[in-house]
Amino acid sequence: MKTLKQMLAGKHRPLAVVSPNDSVFHALTLMAQHNVGALMVLDGEQLVGIFSERDYARKIILHGKSSKETLVSEIMSDKVAYVTPSTTLDECMALMTEKHFRHLPVLSDEDGSVVGIISIGDLVKETISSQQFLISQLERYIAG
């Protein structure tokens, strides 16, 4: 199975981030443009939170707030669990399952800077790929 570092290297899309001072509407627009379900919230280079579709649904829609008038900082999740490139995919999956997260920021082992973000979908896709590879290897071995 690939390492988290290898998996991130295979992601070719730019990292979508938002500022805590941006409007929720702006964040939603970015999410739609990048086809993602969550954005890391950065104050300069510092990770200060994560904003997700779940935050929007539970803290804007259900409270009758306006996405154009509400700042990301008002509804983002500011207690953010994160992983590092040295974290195994199994550890990521266990953390996401236990805490009911769909996204995990990845911070550098060295300086804590933002390296990327992974989703539960990324992990499932990698797990399926790894299993398919193992099955094909076993089939070759048996047939050989």
84-130 pLDDT, tens digit each: 998 989 899 999 999 999 999 999 988 989 999 999 988 988 888 87
The answer to which of 49-53, 57-61, 112-116, 129-133 has the lowest mean pLDDT is: 129-133
**11 pLDDT more than 80:** no
CA dihedral defined by 125, 126, 130, 135, rounded to 10 degrees? 0
pLDDT, residue 143, reads 86
pLDDT, residue 139, reads 86
Q: How far apart are CA 45 and CA 48, in angstroms?
A: 9
pLDDT, residue 1, reads 61
pLDDT, residue 130, reads 79
**Residue % of the chain over a pLDDT of 70:** 99
Q: How far apart are CA 76 and CA 28, in angstroms?
A: 12
Q: What domains lie within the chain, and their CATH numbers?
A: 4-143 (3.10.580.10)
Which is more confidently placed, 11 or 139?
139
Q: Model's pTM, two decimal places?
A: 0.83
Say if CB 107 and CB 22 are below 8 A apart: no
